[in-house]
Amino acid sequence: MTDPLFPLLYILVFPGFLFLLAYALILEYIDRWITARMQNRVGPPWFQPFADLIKMLSKEVIDPAGIDRRLFDAAPLVALAAVMTAFIYVPVIGSSPFAFEGDIVLVLYLLSIPTIILFLLGWLSRNVYAAMGGIRTVTQLFIYEVPFFLALLTPALMAGSWSISSIVAWQQQHLWCAILQPIGFIVALIGLQAKLERPPFDIPEAETEIVAGPWTELTGRRLAIMHLAVDVSLVVGSGLVAAMFLGGPAFPWSVEPGWLAGLSGLIVFLVKTFCVLFLLSAIKVATGRIRIDQLNDIGWKYIATAALVQVALVLAIQSARVIP
């Protein structure tokens, strides 16, 4: 019989919220370090993300005139709670004990909430720069979300399951979906980059144009929590892409005993999320910000088309029964 404390420890400690928060700060540091090295800079010290978080939490919260203070206090917490909840269903050391048929849809929905929160904060802040950034945020959402969803659902079609853990198990018996569906893998990486509003998709916060977009009026703990929500989204997004296309924490063979399987699964998870992060960092360094009209053109003409092509290829493979 399963220990009744196991679900609680899984959610709160490992590989739950405490692990997630620590790993989010570590990935932020690694991202900044990779970016610095690619640009021939030294980069920040290892404790910089934690120091930045503590500093922002200690700063004064300034309320723009006429805003709903309770709404502005609650919105960042809702964004953080959404992405932390999504992480529960991402396999880290093996199949998630909370997995169910259709959890991929729930995770994709939860990952969209921080973007919606940013739009609301920008629109309600009564600041022209923040409002403009909020409009750009929701406009960008409608462009990248469709191909991103299609790309992440093609492994579900291939595996015949809408559960992330089941898709990971299917890849353990066959091949990684990144090999079978390279177009979908590329589209998923581009969609994740856009979802995280990283260059070249940092259009909503374009510092040289609209100060910081929807972030302009965020101060103190509100700013700290929203930044933390973005860092956590990076972990969840990287873990989700790794699970859907790179086999998640699973080896191609079974590992015994159980504790060794868990440890090896964690190491594999870390390595694969590092690989996804490296690709995202390379995209960030190698590209410059594009305009919203350019994103609209590229997104609907090329990225969405590529995602639809991948869906058609998967359906053709399934019809021809090429993969049992």
pLDDT at 1: 42
H helix runs in the chain, sequence order: 5-12, 17-38, 48-58, 69-87, 103-124, 128-159, 164-173, 177-180, 182-195, 207-210, 220-245, 258-286, 292-298, 304-320
**What is the Rg, in whole angstroms, of the alpha carbon atoms belonging to the chain?**
20
**C-beta of residue 261 within 8 angstroms of C-beta of residue 94:** yes
Residue entry with tokens 């919203």: 292
For the full predicted model, state whether its pTM sits above 0.85. Answer: yes
pLDDT at 324: 63
pLDDT at 236: 96
Residue ranges of the chain whose pLDDT lies below 70: 1-3, 251-259, 322, 324
- 3-state DSSP assignment of residue 252: coil
**C-beta of residue 84 within 8 angstroms of C-beta of residue 75:** no
pLDDT digits (tens, 9 = 90+) for 40-80: 998 899 999 999 999 999 998 988 888 888 899 999 999 99
What are residue 95's phi and psi, to 5 degrees?
Answer: -60, 140
pLDDT at 107: 95
Boundaries of every domain in the chain? 52-319
pLDDT digits (tens, 9 = 90+) for 278-292: 999 999 999 888 888
- CA 178, 179, 183, 184 dihedral sign is negative
